[in-house]
Amino acid sequence: MTRASPPANTAAGAARRRGAAARAAADDDATSPVQVRQVRRSDLDPVIEIDAIVTGLEKRTYWRSIFRRYGSGDRPERHFLVAEVEGRVVGFVIGEVRDWEFGEPPCGWVFAINVDPQSRLGGIATRMLQALSAGFRRSGVRKLRTILARDNTLILSFFRSQGMTTGPFIPLEMDLDA
């Protein structure tokens, strides 16, 4: 299985041992083994596969609809990016700039971020979040937000490592009668 990690005897390899931020910085050039780019229709199979590994559900119809909404590239506020290593898609991130939601000025929301378990801890999610944030900055927003499941400590650890902290909102919900 292809690994995202660069060889240990390179500067990037040394950076890998120092942590994700250093790895992402060391990878931040055209020679990086990890390329983050706009999704293509042909990426849908690996995206569906990675999502199915993480969630245990294969949602082909859902992903086709997400691709139509976020992957067309004709809405600059909508982002659907993939990370590719040696020609293989190993992760994806989806986000959108939303205007005046909850009465707040426009901000960038991360809806989903997933990395193939075989390619984790190589700085790939860090690179994808940086690319998404760069897109949000180009749209003029200066705030990044997300919502995550309370018991998903893995994704919480990741977002905390990126500098995210508790925001000003409280999620509420209730059951609706059938």
Binding residues (CB under 6 A) for ligand COA: these are: 19-20, 54, 112-115, 120-126, 152, 154-155, 157-158, 161
CB of 152 to ligand COA, least distance (A): 5
Which residue minimizes CB distance to ligand COA? Answer: 19
CA-to-CA distance for 114 and 66, rounded, in angstroms? 15
The smaller minimum CB distance to ligand COA, of residues 82 and 113, is found at 113
The owner of tokens 């690994």 is 3
Note whether 121 and 104 are within 8 A (CB). Answer: no
- DSSP code, position 104: P
If phi > 0 it is left, if psi is from -120 to 50 it is alpha, else beta; for residue 101 that is: beta
CB of 114 to ligand COA, least distance (A): 4
CA-to-CA distance for 162 and 128, rounded, in angstroms? 11
CB of 168 to ligand COA, least distance (A): 21
CB of 4 to ligand COA, least distance (A): 7
CB of 15 to ligand COA, least distance (A): 10
The smaller minimum CB distance to ligand COA, of residues 72 and 153, is found at 153
The smaller minimum CB distance to ligand COA, of residues 48 and 126, is found at 126
The smaller minimum CB distance to ligand COA, of residues 38 and 54, is found at 54
CA-to-CA distance for 101 and 118, rounded, in angstroms? 36
87: tokens are 């020609």
Note whether 56 and 103 are within 8 A (CB). Answer: no
The smaller minimum CB distance to ligand COA, of residues 54 and 77, is found at 54
